[in-house]
Amino acid sequence: MGLLSGSLSPRVWEGLLRLASKLPFAQAVDELGFFWRVAVSEETGRRLTERAGTAYVAIQAEEGARIRRELPEPPQGPAVQQLSLDGVLVHATDGEWVEIKTAAIGELEQRRGRDGALDVHATKLSYFSRALPVEQFTQDLLVEVERRGTQTATAVVSVNDGALWIQGVLDHYRRDAVRILDFAHATEHLAEAASAVYGRDSPAMHAWMDEQTTTYKHQGSTPVLAALRRLPLTQAADRTAAATIQEQTLGYFLARLDQVQYPRFVAAGYPIGSGAVESAGKLVIQARLKGSGMRWSRANLNPMAALRTIVCSGRWAEAWPQIRQHLRAQEAQRRHTAWRRRHPPPAAPPAPAPPPPDLALLRSAANRLRAGRPHPPRIKDGRPTADHPWRRSLHRPSQAS
């Protein structure tokens, strides 16, 4: 019948999960009661939702282990795929902030806007989110990379901020990926250097920024870096601080020269903004896990993030039957364990005692051994040996001796 544990039918439980994946638990159970006429406490809604999310985390982990074990042929990827990554901080119940990393995978398409110009859009987006160290996140991401055919895509484009951990993930799956520094992040670094010299939000600062952003898009990094070096540090209110920021900004861009070739990227039809993954952080994580006053136990971050990726990727119809089957298997195992605890198997009968030795058989064997072993000679050179019966004393020694 497809029944699960508890008093809720599978259909009502599914409805609760869909609501709780989008709304705070209190609102979710309130909406469930209004539309389904089923009363569920907030704590029950939380527990059932987190249990389903935990099941989906386990399902994806098992699928990743199967892929690594069997090494199946990955599906064919698209002509141009975008793989972008970012992290969002979420408040934990222990008072610390925990980073949830998100990967957004989509297909790049060019469309003409209302003005007739070609714009690049990421379509068919799917997401993978986990609060894990980067090494474990990289390993667990395999299940989504495999599903989307990232390894077989003709070209993979990755638009990101300058975080170094992202480069490690790309090296693991597509070392040949086209890596683009998000244009907004690049201009933010330029704005810091300009603000240190001209003053924040000053007309001179805005004029310099307008010139450099236009130059960056159409002429590349060489003239922009030259303008950065020519900033008039003598006009800065704090010349030492301005010189430090200028040096740091130059170092930041020089370490990423291959990622700031914006004219070449635009000509190839690649996006230069990481809006797809930044909106993913807001859509997948912040919209549900970063509400006012929300605190999450670390154990429940990944289950909720996993459910959010299902909802935001439009894959609920695919994932819910897997979750339901996993929960039913868990419930069957729990019931079997409880039944076995109440009905332990009968104790094994004691081993039968070994039969007593057959004394007659033992004597017969001893006699056969004696018969087969000749006695040493007792007369040698016509004289009795020391063990000859004639040599034995006929008298026992006295007790007093």
From 7-21, 75-89, 347-361, 366-380, the region with the lowest mean pLDDT: 366-380
Mean pLDDT (whole number) for 86-99: 95
Whether 233 and 316 share a structural domain: no
pTM: 0.82
Within a domain: 383: no
| pLDDT number for residue 42 | 95
The total number of residues shown for the chain amounts to: 401
For 112, 131, 268, 271, the CA distances from 117, given in Å and listed in that order, are: 5, 40, 14, 14
For residue 136, pLDDT over 80 is answered with yes
pLDDT one-digit tens code per residue, 1-56: 444 556 788 899 999 999 999 999 999 999 999 999 999 999 999 999 999 999 99
Instruction: Identify the domain containing residue 196 by its residue range.
Output: 183-270
Q: What is the DSSP letter of 375?
A: P
Within a domain: 5: no
Q: Which residues pair with 119 in a beta bridge?
A: 111
For residue 281, pLDDT over 70 is answered with yes
Whether 60 and 31 share a structural domain: yes
Q: Are strands 178-181 and 80-91 parallel, antiparallel or unpaired?
A: unpaired
Whether 98 and 161 share a structural domain: yes
pLDDT one-digit tens code per residue, 160-205: 988 999 999 999 999 999 999 999 999 999 999 999 999 999 999 9
Within a domain: 389: no
Whether 204 and 260 share a structural domain: yes
| pLDDT number for residue 372 | 61
pLDDT one-digit tens code per residue, 256-270: 999 999 999 999 989
The three-point CA angle 127-305-141 to 5° equals 45
Within a domain: 190: yes
Domain count, the chain: 3
Q: What is the DSSP letter of 152?
A: G
Whether 174 and 280 share a structural domain: yes
| pLDDT number for residue 393 | 55
Within a domain: 329: yes
